[in-house]
Amino acid sequence: MSTQVTAPIHPIKVEGEGPNEIAQGNEAFTWVERNVPAAVLALLNNYTDPSKNISGKSYPIVNATMLYAKLAAMTAEVLGVEVTFTSVLPMGVLPMDEMVGRVPKLYPILLDTLVPTQYAAHAEYSGFYTATPVPNPDLVALGVQFGTIEEFLDMEVKPRLVTSLPTTVKNVAGTLP
């Protein structure tokens, strides 16, 4: 008998798909504790140099873009346990369903206003992070060394969980009674 560890993850599930089959674009990820300070420091150290042309630009601090299913597979590999990814079910509450892209089925009038294959709440930012190669070449040129998701899982997640993990870890976005 295995114990299950649950954590909220909110992907998009398109009607008619299996519980672990999702149709969505890649989500952007970063190791905040490592990447954000390194990027900010590089920008602050170089902003007065006109040859760097830093002013007026956006600098997405993204070290990986991937589907949640891939993140689950990477987590399983690093932790050495089975990780199951399950997408969220509709809750019937518009603001919550908007966040997880379930609005078109529940609220057909909004079908044309939302992108059904991405988080509706993130739709206005769609393309912002995907328009920049990963890692951001402008930040790399300034000397920023991005940590990887694998390093994050190995250095931050594994030490905290590996002694208490059951043989199965299940990421569940939500369930209905």
For 172, counting Cβ atoms within 10 Å of its Cβ (0-12 exposed, 13-18 middle, 19+ buried), the class is middle
Asked whether residue 155 is domain-assigned, the answer is yes
In terms of pLDDT, which residue wins out, 107 or 91? 91
Asked whether residue 102 is domain-assigned, the answer is yes
Distance (Å, whole) CA 101 – CA 61: 24
SS (H, E, C) 63-106: CEEECHHHHHHHHHHHHCCEEEEECCCCCCCHHHHHHCCCHHHH
Mean pLDDT in residue range 148-168: 79
Asked whether residue 149 is domain-assigned, the answer is yes
Asked whether residue 177 is domain-assigned, the answer is no
Mean pLDDT in residue range 102-118: 46
Question: Which residue range(s) make up the domain with 87?
Answer: 4-172
Domain total for the chain?
Answer: 1
Which of 141, 151, 90, 142 is CA-nearest to residue 116? 90
Stated pTM of the model:
0.62
Asked whether residue 16 is domain-assigned, the answer is yes
Asked whether residue 116 is domain-assigned, the answer is yes
The pLDDT of residue 84 is above 70: yes
Q: For all residues of the chain together, what is the average pLDDT? A: 70
